[in-house]
Structure 1
Amino acid sequence: MIKINKNFIYNIINKDLKKCKHKKIYTRFPPEPNGYLHIGHAKSIFLNFSIAKLFNGICNLRLDDTDPLKENKKYVNFIKYDIKWLGYKWHNNIFYTSQYFSLLYKFSIKLIKNGLAYIDELNKKQIRKYKGNFNNIGKNSPYRNRSIKENLIIFKKMKNGFFNDGKASLRTKINMSSNNILMRDPILYRIRFKKHYKTNYTWCIYPMYDFAHCLSDYFEKITYSLCTLEFQDNKYLYKWFLYNLKINKKPKQYEFSRLNIEYNIISKRKILILIKKKIILGWDDPRILTLSGLRNRGYTPKSILNFCNYIGVTRKNNLIKINFLENCIRKELNLKSPRLMAVLDPIKIIIKNFKKKKEEILIPNYPKNKKINKRKYIFSKELYIDRKDFKEKKTKNYKGLTIGNKVKLRYSYIIKAKKIKKDKNGNIIYILCKYYNNKKEDKLKIKKNINGIIHWISTLYSIPSIFFLYNNLFNITNPEIKKNFIKYINKNSIIINKGFVEKNIKKIIYSSYQFERNGYFCLNKKFKNNKIFYFNRIVKLKSKILKK
């Protein structure tokens, strides 16, 4: 398991332990089961589980399931799967906020009895209006001064289903003039006549996050409640509940920067919009940064955790470059992925002076480690090259094949394009070429004039393949800050090519491959066909130019 780098949270805990503030460290990872986990969750998982392990503590998995309108068992199962896939194991049984509903209800009764909560019959729109904004202070609800006795009676009616959705709510009585809008009498309970996946129809009132979260931390003896900076203002409410409910051994909340990555959105709410509008195929679409999407793309748990460790844990929000994530998987794949040839956009060439049916060539599976076994590769009269490697007329700095110019076929012969054969519509049928058999006298004459090195596949030794080429989903660096973020969708976020891969792939079964000059690929497991291979491009190569 990857060891976490020291950070400001580590330093806080280390100092507390030296002062003997805690006998044991307890952290928790508390996702809401209303969608799949994304890479931002991976950062939180890495931090909470690693900190607990580093200090010989305990990390709980708690499902924050207080909204039956959005949550279901399917999401719970995927959350558990993703955590295990990353290599972590939670302590003992999984915790659910829903298992504390009875306790939370008792604590809300305590707040009412202490004159710190009241039943409000304003609707959602009216409550928002009464709260005011950053420029205007809020004003008290007309229901704020109800007696404790009346509030208790009405709250019991709420619990027993006497009110319809939105007709009443339990609010905390704090300060409608507070500079922190969250402290302006926040809602404690709202009505939801919806079946809960854990509690069925036992409850029709459900606690809000800020109330349920701090008390769940308390119930589980959490010492360090670690969350992102977006909950910084919620911290005042977190402390208020614990103080006013006379909680001993209070858990403490610490905030760290939220993960934002270039050309991507992390918000589950926005991802759900993309799914509903059928812009992406689902929560596991390889173009988004959910853990399921990254797994389908071909990313590994190690690469994701290395990325989380690399970017670190700070209190400053910033936009992380997508290259940092790509470099983490590229570095890992470079060491373990065998090299193969694939032509993604094929064009046929015919070697007119090659008289044999075929010729075997030995080429390395790992060019940087020539001690590892080589594989047999077939050279023949008819070959496929990539369409981008041919131009009818040479342009400045172009390193491919052109009429009258020479290129070297990777690991084999030098060829020269002589003539083009086209159909009636002007499409190229094939390119007629001459090859040089690389005798010493030929090398002296032609080596100086080589235009570049290109890859290739024999038509005799190729398998039809479909290649899914994934690019950034958005064409601007920070779509998260745009209200109409859908406007910035990259129309070329997925390109599907029909091409060929060498037959050796049937013998070389790996989780990933480097297709020379094209990038790192893995098999697309959603498609199965004995005659056609399907591949996802995991990540591009650093450089498009191959050295000899």
Structure 2
Amino acid sequence: MTTTNETQGLNFLQEIIEEDRRTGKHGGRVLTRFPPEPNGYLHIGHAKSICLNFGLAKQYGGLCNLRFDDTNPVTEDTDYVESIQRDVKWLGFDWEERKYFASDYFPKLYDFAVELIKQGKAYVCSLSPDEIREYRGDFTTPGRDSPYRTRSVEENLDLFARMRAGEFPDSKHTLRAKIDMASPNPVLRDPPIYRIRHAHHHRTGDAWPIYPLYDFAHCLSDALEGITHSICTLEFENRRVLYDWIVDSLIKGDRPHQYEFNRLNLNYTVMSKRKLLKLVTEKYVSGWDDPRMMTLSGLRRRGFTPKSIRDFASRAGISKTQQLIDMGVLELCIREDLNDTAPRAMGVLRPLKVVVENYPEGQVEMLEVQNHPQKPEMGTRQVPFMRELFIEADDFMEVPAKGFFRLAPGKEVRLRSAYFITCKEVIKDADGKVVELRCTYDPATKGGDSPDGRKVKGTLHWAPGNAPSVEVRLYDRLFSVESPDSDDAKDFTTFLNPNSLEVITNARVEPMLANAAAESRFQFERLGYFYVDPKDSQPGRPVFNRTVTLKDSWVKEQGKGK
């Protein structure tokens, strides 16, 4: 995974690895890992880390492990484990047989904690969690020694063994590293490394009433697996000193090293698992795989491709500087991919009936239409043309505004790959709504071209009168502001976009789309790229999710009325 600007050469992580290989550090090995906590579904930010860790390993002939940091039984679940594996594989990466869990190492981590106690580097503290936070202070308030800091090694070993045996209730005691309560970095002020938690674990059941904290388990899991380059995001930078202190205290010989890079921040969304969970549990969305969610399962269900996500992760770049990526970049990546690969089709979202009065009643003419105008190798399809058909309601204006080149009374337009038609009469219902257009066609313009060379400015997509009715879901950005979680005075759900989903139940599509297979992708001409929903579609009744519009219309739409 390189920077987006090729002239910049290697990113800083590649430079580190190349220098390590040059000097023989780690014996020239490269072993990375992707270490999610199974407490939620992966989102677009995780994709950057997945691509980076697996990508660096592949680039330098190394390996990448998949490890679940499952040290908090209260929030973790096997459903999350399974979803994470699906997402990583969908992105195109394979951990082969190297799937691990921090819970695999619980016995060894316990032994490591005992070793720290024996070294006089850990003690059992009986302060409450609130008292521990108070005693540790902050960046402006110095820390204070716990009254239990001077317990003997023997007493600490006894108490820790009894914690392990389940004698004490939650929060009665905590095992803390004994480092430096006067450190200017609060992270080093005797951080907790084990807590009592009587909770059922998704893998170990009720075998353990105590669990290691992330800072303790993560670095030692790296060491036990022989990880060489432990790559994480910048919020862990100030915790690197603790990572090093724990590893140096317990690991002899070759050891892992932590490096930090900028996380992926995307506008018009939230990345916090806690906030994503709130959207799901409070039913602001239909689930983790709601196509408006920036989870990988949501993006997949919306129709994004693995290639587009990998491309986006690459364009985001790797550096030490935090940045906010515009949603338009992600949308550009999927447009570029689907423009090459998606066959064309015609669908009418808001149908307006057209009767071609001079076309023979009962006649059906099969027109040959290209599946991709730039790729003849993708072949052609047959689209029926008949006396009755449908166009978009928005493609007609009874009193056309300046610059409106679509259909209007007396105006002639081209029907894509079919004929020129001219509007002769407008039919309205009792409320004055236009419900039908009466038109004529020019038989000499078959295929959409005029033999006499006359030009028309408007080309419309259409659907034949026997077009099946289908459900189409138009998805847009879930939030209406760039930074929905930046206003501390308001809950982020305040900024949900009320127009993020529009469901159309009577759209009309080419007959061949009635049997479109689940997970198929199409470009609906002039409308956007659409994906056959794999969850709600049924044989003969596809549901089409709009993946993205043909052009970025968000900025234009947001500017209306200003």
| 1:122-521 map, 5 Å | 122-245=127-250, 247-356=252-361, 357-370=363-376, 373-438=379-444, 447=454, 450-460=456-466, 462-483=467-488, 484-498=491-505, 499-505=507-513, 511-521=520-530
Offset at residue 220 of structure 1 (A): 1.1
Q: Give CA-to-partner distance per residue, 1:417-447, whole Å, 9 cap, x none.
A: 333222223333212223334469x969994
CA contact (8 A) 2:354 2:388 kept: yes
Offset at residue 264 of structure 1 (A): 1.6
Q: Distance in 1 between matches of 2:544 and 2:299?
A: 14
Offset at residue 528 of structure 1 (A): 3.5
| Pair 1:108–1:369, CA change in 2 (3 A) | closer
Please give the secondary structure, in 2, of the residue aligned with 1:400. Answer: coil
Please give the secondary structure, in 2, of the residue aligned with 1:433. Answer: strand
Q: Distance in 2 between matches of 1:268 and 1:489?
A: 17
| Pair 1:292–1:185, CA change in 2 (3 A) | same
CA contact (8 A) 1:351 1:432 kept: yes
Q: Give CA-to-partner distance per residue, 1:369-406, whole Å, 9 cap, x none.
A: 34653322222221111121122221122232223333
Please give the secondary structure, in 2, of the residue aligned with 1:309. Answer: helix
1:534 aligns with 543
1:32 aligns with 37
Number of corresponding residues: 540
Offset at residue 333 of structure 1 (A): 1.4
CA contact (8 A) 2:516 2:532 kept: no
Q: Distance in 1 between matches of 2:223 and 2:293?
A: 35
Offset at residue 478 of structure 1 (A): 2.3
Please give the secondary structure, in 1, of the residue aligned with 2:479. Answer: coil
Q: Distance in 2 between matches of 1:543 and 1:58?
A: 39
Please give the secondary structure, in 2, of the residue aligned with 1:129. Answer: helix
CA contact (8 A) 1:4 1:47 kept: no
CA contact (8 A) 2:200 2:206 kept: yes
Computed over aligned residues only, the root mean square deviation of the Cα atoms, in angstroms, reads 2.4
Offset at residue 358 of structure 1 (A): 3.1
Q: Distance in 2 between matches of 1:372 and 1:60?
A: 39
Please give the secondary structure, in 2, of the residue aligned with 1:232. Answer: helix
2:21 aligns with 17
Letter in 2 for 1:17: R
Q: Give CA-to-partner distance per residue, 1:484-534, whole Å, 9 cap, x none.
A: 211111111111113111012357768211110111112112224445321
CA contact (8 A) 1:407 1:415 kept: yes
Q: Distance in 2 between matches of 1:100 and 1:530?
A: 47
Q: Distance in 1 between matches of 2:521 and 2:135?
A: 57
Offset at residue 3 of structure 1 (A): 8.8
Scaled by the length of structure 2, the TM-score of the pair is 0.90
Q: Distance in 2 between matches of 1:82 and 1:536?
A: 20
Q: Which runs of 5+ in 1 are unaligned?
A: none
CA contact (8 A) 1:121 1:167 kept: yes
Letter in 1 for 2:510: E
Q: Distance in 2 between matches of 1:360 and 1:543?
A: 34
Q: Distance in 2 between matches of 1:481 and 1:137?
A: 29
Q: Distance in 2 between matches of 1:179 and 1:405?
A: 77
Please give the secondary structure, in 2, of the residue aligned with 1:226. Answer: strand
CA contact (8 A) 1:228 1:257 kept: yes
The answer to whether structure 1 residue 525 and structure 2 residue 534 are counterparts is yes
Q: Distance in 2 between matches of 1:44 and 1:407?
A: 50
Scaled by the length of structure 1, the TM-score of the pair is 0.92
Q: Distance in 2 between matches of 1:175 and 1:517?
A: 65
Offset at residue 337 of structure 1 (A): 1.4
More moved, 422-431 vs 193-202: 422-431
CA contact (8 A) 1:401 1:451 kept: no
Please give the secondary structure, in 2, of the residue aligned with 1:401. Answer: coil
Q: Give CA-to-partner distance per residue, 1:138-158, whole Å, 9 cap, x none.
A: 322232233332222222221
Offset at residue 91 of structure 1 (A): 4.7
Q: Distance in 2 between matches of 1:96 and 1:508?
A: 40
Q: Distance in 2 between matches of 1:501 and 1:178?
A: 67
Offset at residue 451 of structure 1 (A): 4.8
Letter in 2 for 1:505: L
Letter in 1 for 2:512: N
Q: Give CA-to-partner distance per residue, 1:308-356, whole Å, 9 cap, x none.
A: 2222222211111222222222222112211111001111122233334
CA contact (8 A) 1:463 1:532 kept: no
How high is the sequence identity, in percent, across the aligned residues?
44
| Pair 1:446–1:221, CA change in 2 (3 A) | closer
Q: Distance in 2 between matches of 1:91 and 1:16?
A: 25
Q: Distance in 2 between matches of 1:521 and 1:439?
A: 30
Please give the secondary structure, in 2, of the residue aligned with 1:293. Answer: helix
List structure 1 segments (4+ residues) > 6 angstroms apart after TM superposition: 2-5
Please give the secondary structure, in 2, of the residue aligned with 1:329. Answer: helix
Letter in 1 for 2:22: K
Letter in 2 for 1:494: L
